[in-house]
Structure 1
Amino acid sequence: MRKTSLALAVAAGTLGLTLSHVANAEFIKDSKASIEARNFYFNSDFREGAGQSKQEEWAQGFLLRMESGYTEGTVGFGVDALATFGFKLDSGDGTAGSGLLVPDGSGGSQDNSGGLGLTAKAKAGESVLKVGSLQLKNQAIGSSDSRLLPQVFRGANLVSKDIAGLTLDLGYLDEVNNRNSSDYQDMRLNTFTNSGITVKGGSSANHSNQFVFAGGSYKLTDTLTGGYYYSNLEDMYKQHSFNLVHVLPIADKQSLKSDLRYARSTDDGLSNVDNKAFGAMFTYALSGHSLGLGYQKMSGDTGFAYIGDSVDPFLVNYVQIGNFAAKDETSWQARYDFNFGSVGIPGLTFMTRYLTGDNIDRPNNADGKEWERNMDIAYVIQEGSLKNLGVRWRNATMRNNFGRDVDQNRLIVSYTLPLF
């Protein structure tokens, strides 16, 4: 009897291991990993004599991304990981503060920093739930990746595409690890210059450990997509965001894209947020050329509301330096892009744009004005031993009548190596 029980136990165990191996086959098969080396030089040259004359830093970063497949079954399970490490190559003599490196508390930057983010995930049909470290990009919130290391949030995110044409997106966040930070912390409301946004209790009360959002997009026709999101940074603000995107095919390699955005933001107890933000971007594309015209208008008692410390807001005129979202500000943008792939040089792209904003409600009752010019040229090697090696130069000039004028250059050399 004992031998029979033992045999059954061994058989059951062997079968369990076999089934486990089969069930996890897709978990391994669909896994992928890559390592990115990112070399970043940042220079902001302030054009007036007062204060810090420039921010200039140079750093090297490494990002290891790993994504598993899903176990087989009605509900599949998996895990993702993001390991980051950055170290200083050059900084000092009062030039810190670029956002590339973690501040050292004495006006300089730490020599190195890093982190490890893990994300558990589950998939049923076309619905995916992720819990842990998250990078998000939607109408409610956008994780920034415009420095040495990316911004990462901690929380849960459910994305469902089970209904054809419909994407549902739900999320809960409680902490953020910013681009120039080595640990997680509470989120805060952005009280940028001339926003008119204040928090009861001042900066010490400006923190929240709960941000929730719910929304999604629906493909109304083959050329028209509508989106809506509700979001709430607890105690700070509530926001309803609407988006309508239409792409009109005109002829072969020719189209007109219309991108309309509207957001209504109100306070949630501890702030004075009251803003209506309207934005429109129209882009005409012909072969490798794209010509865009943008308009953005702020109204209400404050400027646009969004999470501070480097979150990318969902605004058509949010660019390299400015957001053009101050109280009562009206701004325009003209943009030109060219993809050299259309003339036989794949991987080479160019962009330039000019923005101007005015009617800003300043505290002294004077109208604020600002303008910004950007240029971006990038090349990614498409084949050969140096495939995926990219070089990007970003240049910007900002001028205004209420703050610091700045000329800025960023040079980024990156290389992504697929591991498996």
Structure 2
Amino acid sequence: MKKTMLGLAIALAMGGTGGQALAGGFIEDSTARLDLRNFYFNHDIRDTDSPTQDEWGQGFLLNLQSGFTEGAVGVGLDATYTLGVKLDASGARSIFPADTDGEAVDDFSRGGLTGKMRFSKTEARYGILVPKLPILTANDGRMLPQLFEGGMITSNEIDNLTLTAGQIEHVVGRMSSNFTGMAVSGGTEQSNQFRFAGGDYKGIKDLTLQYYFANLEDYYDQNFLGALHSLPLGPGVLKTDLRYFRTTSDGQNANGTAGYRAATNGSGNDGEIDNSTWSAKFTYGLKGHSVSLGYQQVSDNSMFVQLNQGSLPNEGAGGTSTYVITDSLVQNFTYAGERTVLGQYAYDFAEAGIPGLTASLTYLKGDQIKTAIGSDRKEWERDIVLGYVVQSGALKGVGVAWRNGMLRSDVLGDIDHNRLTISYSLPLW
């Protein structure tokens, strides 16, 4: 009935019987889902008098996806709407925008439409995007996700090769209702052009090879090379994850123009982007157990950068993800000169007869950090993640997760960090 009503609405919008024919294909594969996320956040800077960030809210994420109309070229339309409601908040803001009086707003929302077109094995989208690419990964670490606006084309016309290209024009932060332009950490001027292209090749058994290029106009050019490999070894599987980034200045950043300088802490501290970062991570999985060891090295001239709007004035656009193996709960270990070792143990309790329960413990230690006031700064972080998804009964599908992070840093200070999430996904049809 719901699909029929939606089909009639689309037919009316398209006008007459021709619209009804289009709507039939449009509706056939449509889906609608409401994600509920109850989110508690506590961020305590232990070695200063800064007030503890203590916030609790309820998030609603509505996702409507149409199918494609029939014919050689199919078209469709998706809709995304998110709403965050304050339950309690004190201290600085991390999940809610600030009102004019500095207090957290009672609620905030954002969203939009995405038009899409499919031809053969190629799909084009324009509108709201949630990319998951090595050079751009939307952040979903708070009550509401980060959303991007722009166009993207994905093609699988060549066997074993996925090609992706696009342009991003605006972004809305995870604690904001306002779409803005883009920048890097430290940049106060907005750029409205982030272009990217690349591909994933899977023509060799158990091996994925990746190359991507990205340009944030007036900030940086970035090249990425990656390799993912899975090797049966004894009774388990060894997974290898290799990543290399080369990032250089572009336009106004290269010219040293005020407002386009990055928050770099490398040689000269002038804000020009000039960075190489490489990493290697090895994970051995056996039944429910997995053990990971990793190493990452950041070059001396400047810190690693990807899109980060946190320095834009009065926008509440902070919060970002970076595609590095050290992107953790509190810190991402990407200062200039930083060398980081990583160890992780994870266990899936399904092997012990408790399906739905998972746990992980991660430890990272970075040193040789270069700052404006000295070198060889150090930091370490320990993260614990526990999660459980109810497997049956009236609460089937309800997920509970606790994330605890402890950071001790010569740069950021001493921070204790907790997140508690209760989530549920409700199919509407």
- Check whether TM > 0.5: yes
Aligned residues: 388
- Could you tell me how far apart the structure 2 residues matched to 1:258 and 1:38 are? 33
Aligned to 1:256: 238
- Could you tell me how far apart the structure 2 residues matched to 1:211 and 1:347 are? 39
Task: Give, in angstroms, the shift of residue 108 of structure 1.
Answer: 2.4
Does structure 1 retain, via aligned residues, the 8 Å contact 2:277–2:304? yes
Which residue of 78, 81, 88 corresponds with 1:80? 78
1:178 paired to 2:166: no
- Could you tell me how far apart the structure 1 residues matched to 2:242 and 2:100 are? 42
1:15-414 equivalent positions in 2, closer than 5 A: 21-48=20-47, 50-92=48-90, 95-97=91-93, 99-191=94-186, 203=188, 206-252=189-235, 254-271=236-253, 272-308=272-308, 309-414=318-423
Does structure 2 retain, via aligned residues, the 8 Å contact 1:189–1:207? no
> Residue deviations 1:125-158, cap 9 Å, x none?
1211110011111011000011111100110011
Which amino acid is the alignment partner of residue 384 of structure 2?
A: M
Does structure 2 retain, via aligned residues, the 8 Å contact 1:24–1:72? no
Task: Give, in angstroms, the shift of residue 40 of structure 1.
Answer: 0.5
Task: Give, in angstroms, the shift of residue 52 of structure 1.
Answer: 1.3
- Could you tell me how far apart the structure 1 residues matched to 2:17 and 2:251 are? 57
Task: Give, in angstroms, the shift of residue 207 of structure 1.
Answer: 1.9
Does structure 2 retain, via aligned residues, the 8 Å contact 1:157–1:171? yes
In percent, how many aligned pairs have the same letter?
A: 41
What SS does structure 2 have at the residue aligned with 1:25?
A: helix
Does structure 2 retain, via aligned residues, the 8 Å contact 1:24–1:70? no
Task: Give, in angstroms, the shift of residue 19 of structure 1.
Answer: 6.4
Aligned to 1:12: none
**TM-score in terms of structure 1 length:** 0.89
Does structure 1 retain, via aligned residues, the 8 Å contact 2:99–2:105? yes
Does structure 1 retain, via aligned residues, the 8 Å contact 2:300–2:370? no
Task: Give, in angstroms, the shift of residue 300 of structure 1.
Answer: 4.0
Task: Give, in angstroms, the shift of residue 342 of structure 1.
Answer: 1.9
Q: Provide the alpha-carbon RMSD of the alignment.
A: 1.5
Which amino acid is the alignment partner of residue 45 of structure 2?
A: F
- Could you tell me how far apart the structure 1 residues matched to 2:74 and 2:42 are? 46
What SS does structure 1 have at the residue aligned with 2:204?
A: coil
- Could you tell me how far apart the structure 2 residues matched to 1:106 and 1:219 are? 53
What SS does structure 1 have at the residue aligned with 2:162?
A: strand
> Residue deviations 1:223-257, cap 9 Å, x none?
111001000110000000110011001245x1000
**TM-score in terms of structure 2 length:** 0.88
Task: Give, in angstroms, the shift of residue 173 of structure 1.
Answer: 0.8
- Could you tell me how far apart the structure 1 residues matched to 2:281 and 2:203 are? 20
- Could you tell me how far apart the structure 2 residues matched to 1:324 and 1:365 are? 17
